[in-house]
């Protein structure tokens, strides 16, 4: 019997599987054939501070440290190159933004992640930065498609990955074990990203879908750093850059949108002082909970059924630490940080339990 059966092999499932491997647990993964999942579309940027409101990821320091430990060692196992610690710069696009970011430096832990103001002339000539900007320390980029596909091949070679559609009606939970499609396990973890959880034991967890569009462009500049102005611009090798992303709320299909492409290109024209050419346009659905915080933990009535989801737009930064926290909870009974614990949605569970028993 397996210790863990994982449903879904995006960033969440892949990092959880890697952590199980490190701990010597017996596990298997069920995942559909590769498609445009969020993890295969993502730009893969991580940074401890983001957004107009200078949001600091909760647990930012621990997340950075765990990511810096986990990704390089996983990268070596794939014999590919997909982990790129890179300098990240915020280019101020408005006086309000400038004020907010510089205020953050005044906070007790502000300077830890943020440089002093950088004047316009400290930016490369091809970047339009009339208000200057700041450097955000500790960021970089993971080529998430290469990572997930590389790790997937390892699991396939080891016979641990079953390419199949998980159908909740085929799940059998008894006192002795959890069985699905001929596999039996002591625990089952749902890592299904933005896919519907209808029919699963976690269908009461509130999600909202946000489509993201990302472009790949060729531009005549030689940047090695990530620049974040109205959009991010991240070097992807060979004179190519990933640019984006859009936030289209309430979308349930991951079809790339023409208006989003136009909006990204318009912003990029303001950001770049050199011409560019779009060579690719992709889109995916971010897995977002209603409160925009990742969700971990078990079913209130059965600690063997677990969830690891809601990574939103920060999958790369969050997944390595959260995979460890979830397994510490499941294997050793450690408490989960309440902000991530699925128990924060307990009222919804009680309501659904009353309705369906
Ligand atoms: C345009 C865009 C840009 C982004 N940029 C960044 C970025 O720069 N940095 C960052 O950190 N994050 C970024 N993100 C977010 C990031 O992609 C997500 O946080 C992350 O990929 C979520 O991973 P996941 O494993 O939870 O979900 P997913 O990637 O959706 O993986 C879920 C997996 O479960 C499988 N699955 C689901 N249902 C079933 C079923 N019934 N049967 C079998 N298999 C199933 C799917 O096939 C899939 O493989 C971006 C997202 C988008 C859309």
**14 backbone dihedrals φ, ψ, rounded to 5°:** -65, -40
308 lines ligand 1 (CB under 6 A): no
The more confident residue out of 214 and 112 is 214
The answer to whether 88 and 228 are in contact (CB under 8 A) is: yes
Which of 5, 11, 30, 38 has most ligand 1 atoms within 8 Å of CB, for mutation?
Answer: 38
Q: Whose CA is nearest to atom 19 of ligand 1?
A: 315
DSSP for 36-100, please give it. S-HHHH---EE-SEETTTTEEPTTHHHHHHHHHHHHHHHHHHHTS--EEE--EEEEP-SHHHHHH
Distance of alpha carbon 56 from alpha carbon 292, whole angstroms: 13
User: What's the CA-to-centroid distance between 314 and ligand 1, angstroms?
Assistant: 10
pLDDT tens string 274-331: 999 999 999 999 999 999 999 999 999 899 999 999 999 999 999 999 999 999 999 9
DSSP assigned state of 32? P
| CA atoms lying within 13 Å on the CB side of residue 333 | 0
140 lines ligand 1 (CB under 6 A): no
0.85 surpassed by pTM: yes
Distance of alpha carbon 128 from alpha carbon 270, whole angstroms: 7
Q: Where do the domains of the chain lie, and which CATH numbers do they carry?
A: 2-41+145-205+291-356 (3.50.50.60), 78-142+208-286 (3.30.9.10)
Distance of alpha carbon 133 from alpha carbon 122, whole angstroms: 9
Distance of alpha carbon 71 from alpha carbon 323, whole angstroms: 13
- Which of 23, 50, 71 lies closest to 316 in space, CA to CA? 71
209 lines ligand 1 (CB under 6 A): no
Distance of alpha carbon 245 from alpha carbon 264, whole angstroms: 7
Q: Which of 103-117, 230-244, 335-349 shows the lowest per-residue confidence on average (mean pLDDT)?
A: 103-117
Which of 10, 139, 203, 264 has most ligand 1 atoms within 8 Å of CB, for mutation?
Answer: 10
pLDDT tens string 121-147: 999 999 999 999 999 999 999 999 999
pLDDT tens string 182-222: 999 999 999 999 998 888 999 999 999 899 999 999 998 99
Which of 18, 42, 196 has most ligand 1 atoms within 8 Å of CB, for mutation?
Answer: 42
């Amino acid at each position: 019997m397996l210790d863990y059966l994982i449903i879904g092999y995006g960033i969440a499932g892949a990092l959880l599987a890697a952590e199980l491997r490190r701990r010597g647990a017996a596990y298997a993964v069920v995942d559909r054939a590769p498609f445009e999942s969020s993890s295969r579309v993502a730009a893969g940027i991580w940074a401890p501070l983001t957004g107009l409101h200078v949001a600091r990821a909760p647990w930012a320091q621990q997340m950075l440290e765990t990511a810096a430990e986990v990704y390089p060692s996983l990268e070596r196992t794939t014999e590919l190159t997909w982990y790129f610690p890179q300098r990240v710069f915020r280019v101020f696009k408005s006086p309000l933004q400038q004020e907010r970011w510089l205020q953050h430096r005044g906070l007790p832990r502000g300077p830890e992640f943020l440089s002093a103001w950088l004047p316009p002339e400290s930016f490369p000539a091809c970047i339009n930065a009339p208000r200057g900007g700041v450097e955000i320390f500790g960021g970089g980029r993971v080529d998430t498609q290469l990572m997930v596909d590389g790790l997937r091949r390892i699991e396939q070679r080891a016979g641990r990955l079953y390419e199949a559609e998980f159908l909740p009606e085929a799940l059998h939970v008894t006192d002795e074990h959890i069985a699905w499609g001929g596999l039996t396990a002591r625990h089952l973890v749902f890592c299904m990203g933005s896919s519907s959880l209808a029919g699963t034991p976690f269908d009461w967890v509130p999600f909202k879908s946000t489509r993201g569009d990302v472009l790949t462009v060729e531009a005549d500049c030689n940047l090695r750093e990530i620049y974040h102005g109205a959009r991010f611009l991240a070097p992807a090798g060979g004179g190519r850059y990933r640019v984006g992303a859009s936030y289209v709320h309430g979308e349930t299909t991951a079809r790339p949108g023409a208006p989003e492409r136009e909006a990204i290109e318009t912003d990029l024209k303001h950001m770049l002082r050199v011409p560019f050419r779009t060579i690719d346009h992709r889109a995916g659905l971010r897995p977002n909970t209603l409160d925009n915080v990742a969700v971990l933990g078990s079913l209130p009535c059965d600690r063997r059924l677990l969830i690891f989801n809601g990574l939103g737009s920060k999958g790369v930064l969050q997944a390595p630490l959260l995979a460890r926290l979830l397994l510490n909870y499941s294997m050793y009974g450690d408490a989960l940080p309440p902000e991530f614990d699925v128990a924060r949605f307990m009222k919804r569970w009680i309501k659904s339990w009353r309705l369906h028993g």
